[in-house]
Structure 1
Amino acid sequence: MPATEAAAVASFYVMILGFFVFKTLKVKDLPKIFWATAEQTAKVMFVIATAGFFQYVLLYTRIPQEAIAFISTSFTSIVPVLLIIIALLVIMGCFMEGTAILLITVPIFVPLAKAFGFDVVQLGIVMCISLAVGVLTPPVGLNLYVMASISGVKVMAIAREALGYVLIMILGAAAVAFIPELSLGLARFVP
């Protein structure tokens, strides 16, 4: 079942639980719930639309091609390029949401990785791990705010405690980047 249909089924299931099992949901609450959902969806769609426009501008101005040409002539090895990619994604993750970052950086990083002969699946996993660091770092760190709202603890207190996880995740991203078997090993056994 695709994600959209699964989300619709889950929403229906939650409504049944709210109305009939827990009896915490009332029909008069539905317009407020639907409005809040529409607001959240609009925020996400705005980010995606803005990132799509930025992606179009990048492609129109040939920035990805120019970046590939510059980096290909500046570096002879993929190692510094991967370290730059990881650093950029972690820094961008401190200020932006992950979907927008992916929409902006994938058109640049994928051709760059291909130019160096780096596996695109491996790059995708490195990018996901690097972006996961962003949701644990202030000021935008979405997971920090979720944990703070659930626990009642201040965001910066949670950020201090999460620092160890952030360091481990950065090391994990570097390990996946430089040890291909960590990300591609199982896939090679699939016929």
Structure 2
Amino acid sequence: MMLSLPFNLALVAIVGLALLGLPMGLAMICGSIMYLLARGQDMGIAAEQLLNGMYSNYIMLAVPLFILAAEIMNSGSLSERLLKWCDALVGRFRGGLAQVNVLQSMVFAGMSGSAVADAAGSGKMMQFMMTKDGKYTPSYAAALTAATAVVGPIIPPSIPMVLYALISDASIGYLFLAGVVPGLLMCLSMMVLITITARIKQFPIEAPTPLRQIPRMTWEALPVLMMPAVLMFGIYGGITTPTEAAAIAAFYALVVSVVIYRSVSAKELYKSLATSSKTTASIGMLIAGALVFNYVVTIENIPRSLSAILVSWDLNPITFLIAMNILLLLLGCLLEGTTILLVIVPILIPTAQALGIDMVHLGVVVVVNIMLGLITPPFGLLLFIMTRISGSTMRELVVDVLPFLFALLGALMLFTFVPDTVLWLPRLFGYQG
């Protein structure tokens, strides 16, 4: 597959600008404009592709709304109430606080859709609870928090799955359903690992919460626990679209925090709006750059050419998925997940379609790979976030996160080789794939 000189110049420009510190979205736009200049094409094509892509996909509106919902929840007392409820359920067992960390991430995942929001929000509280009185080392608590945060974008709602739906035309509703069982299995794999480790290292046992208090604590946490149910009922009951459900999630988080719990002040609400706006702008710039650069990639006929080459190698779906897993895991060590999703994955989709791989199954495998990149040394984003939060060194954190990474890789192999673990629930709701 021969690449033209203009395309090579565009690649050099993108890599060079990114290394100089320019945001990847802007680097892709600049490289794409250089390509158009070198080919003598109208510069207005870049703006046309950007506008058509940004304004014709209403599902993209779900991204800022889910981000806003997560920020509001982190600023209020929702995370604190959720942690108390989780502690009442599983805190009584050996290594109970570690199990609480997994359980709260599983529930929080049904509200935020963002791994970073999970780690930076409830993850801070878990870090404090686990390291208080020297119960767990800071590096172990941070490693577990980073690993459990990975589940956030797997269990619906999921911002990466919204972006995958944008580039693949897969149903976002069925993608959300497909993430439920894999997310639960990932949590189960970590809880089993914690149970084994707790016996070996003799982790502490927390004072059990009296059983008579659990109904009261459940009632107090009920508004938080109802949010995933509200989202799922709206989407799969045919009442709302995923985008409308995202708006309901943001509004529900606001009502629960401000009206029911009265835990968010006007200042904190403003801060949540400002933070979510910055995050949305960052993701929006990446999407804009990817839309323009994907137009360049399409002109060069790279997806179709690559698909023809791979099909000519007589690959079967399993070997393709194995190769894709290795590629995405390696890229996850070096690149930001959204960049991989918006730039690399669209090139792989035509080959997957030619091999008959289901797009919903592929979407879950892709998103799990990208999320694991967040805790893969040396450049996993969650590793850097938890290093700052915990005060532990990167070396200590990597040593403690590796067992969880291997457990999650085992779950990934299961999703890859047994598509029914992903597609069972969507098929139950009418999916024909």
C-alpha distance in structure 1 between counterparts of 2:276 and 2:429, whole Å = 40
> Which residue is 1:136 aligned to?
375
1:64: how far off?
0.5
State the AA in 2 paired with 1:168. Answer: A
| Residue 8 to residue 145, structure 1, CA distance change in 2 (3 Å) | farther
C-alpha distance in structure 1 between counterparts of 2:396 and 2:282, whole Å = 28
Question: What pairs with 1:4-19 in structure 2 (closer than 5 Å)?
Answer: 4-7=247-250, 10=253, 16=258
What count of residue pairs does the alignment treat as equivalent? 186
1:74: how far off?
1.1
> Of 84, 87, 90, which aligns to 2:326?
87
C-alpha distance in structure 2 between counterparts of 1:101 and 1:94, whole Å = 11
C-alpha distance in structure 1 between counterparts of 2:367 and 2:262, whole Å = 38
| Residue 114 to residue 186, structure 1, CA distance change in 2 (3 Å) | same
**What's the CA shift string for 1:80-133, capped at 9, x where partnerless?**
211111011111111222222111133222221111111111111111111121
C-alpha distance in structure 2 between counterparts of 1:118 and 1:159, whole Å = 34
RMSD across aligned positions (CA): 2.8
| Residue 48 to residue 190, structure 1, CA distance change in 2 (3 Å) | closer
1:139: how far off?
3.8
> Which residue is 2:423 aligned to?
184
| Residue 12 to residue 60, structure 1, CA distance change in 2 (3 Å) | farther
C-alpha distance in structure 2 between counterparts of 1:37 and 1:57, whole Å = 30
State the AA in 2 paired with 1:167. Answer: F
Mark the runs of 5 or more structure 1 residues left unpaired by the alignment.
none
**What's the CA shift string for 1:28-49, capped at 9, x where partnerless?**
x887776555444332222222
State the AA in 2 paired with 1:121. Answer: V
C-alpha distance in structure 1 between counterparts of 2:256 and 2:429, whole Å = 35
| Residue 43 to residue 80, structure 1, CA distance change in 2 (3 Å) | same
Structure ranking higher on relative contact order (CA contacts 8 Å, 6+ apart): 2
C-alpha distance in structure 2 between counterparts of 1:93 and 1:116, whole Å = 24
State the AA in 1 paired with 2:396. Answer: A
Contact 1:126 1:176 survives alignment (8 Å):
yes
State the AA in 1 paired with 2:294. Answer: Q
C-alpha distance in structure 2 between counterparts of 1:38 and 1:185, whole Å = 37
Contact 1:98 1:131 survives alignment (8 Å):
yes
**Secondary structure class of the residue paired with 2:375:** coil
Question: What is the TM-score normalised by the length of structure 1?
Answer: 0.79
State the AA in 2 paired with 1:128. Answer: V
1:149: how far off?
2.8
Question: What is the TM-score normalised by the length of structure 2?
Answer: 0.38
**Secondary structure class of the residue paired with 1:96:** coil
**Is 1:41 equivalent to 2:280 in the alignment?**
yes
> Which residue is 1:73 aligned to?
312
